[in-house]
Amino acid sequence: MFDVEKSVSTIIDRMKKLRESKKKSQLELSLASGVSQTMISQIESRQRIPTLVTFLKLCDALDVAPELLLGNVSKDDERHKDKQKILNNLEEVISFIEEL
């Protein structure tokens, strides 16, 4: 099942990391996007979820296509599940070998 909260959190993390990698403060992003610094702070601290319009303004100010921040969120979850399955299987194999 698609985990909405985790997906939103992943998107916000990506946006914050992008802002930091571009060495922009929240104030600079606010001035470039027209979104208040308070709102940006609340979004980055998970107190608020941005509306679509706010998200698009922030993407524009960060000079990034929205789909790059949205991309493969559900696949990230699937990759984690696949890794966990592999680890579980490996543990079973090791247990089996130890019993021999």
pLDDT at 6 exceeding the cut of 80: yes
Tokens, residue 49: 């979820």
CATH number of 4-71: 1.10.260.40
The pLDDT tens digits for 26-66 are 999 999 999 999 999 999 999 999 999 999 999 999 999 89
pLDDT at 88 exceeding the cut of 60: yes
Q: Pick from 11, 6, 98: which is nearest to 50 by CA?
A: 11
Q: pLDDT confidence of 73, banded at 50, 70, 90? A: low
Give the pLDDT score at 34.
98
DSSP structure class, residue 51: -
Residue scoring higher pLDDT (75 or 91): 91
Average pLDDT, the chain: 84
Total length of the chain: 100
pLDDT at 9 exceeding the cut of 80: yes
Q: 0.85 exceeded by the pTM?
A: no
Q: How far apart are CA 46 and CA 48, in angstroms?
A: 5
Give the pLDDT score at 43.
96
Q: Are the C-beta atoms of 33 and 39 separated by less than 8 Å?
A: no
Counting beta carbons within 10 angstroms of the beta carbon of residue 79, is it exposed (0 to 12), middle (13 to 18) or buried (19 or more)? exposed
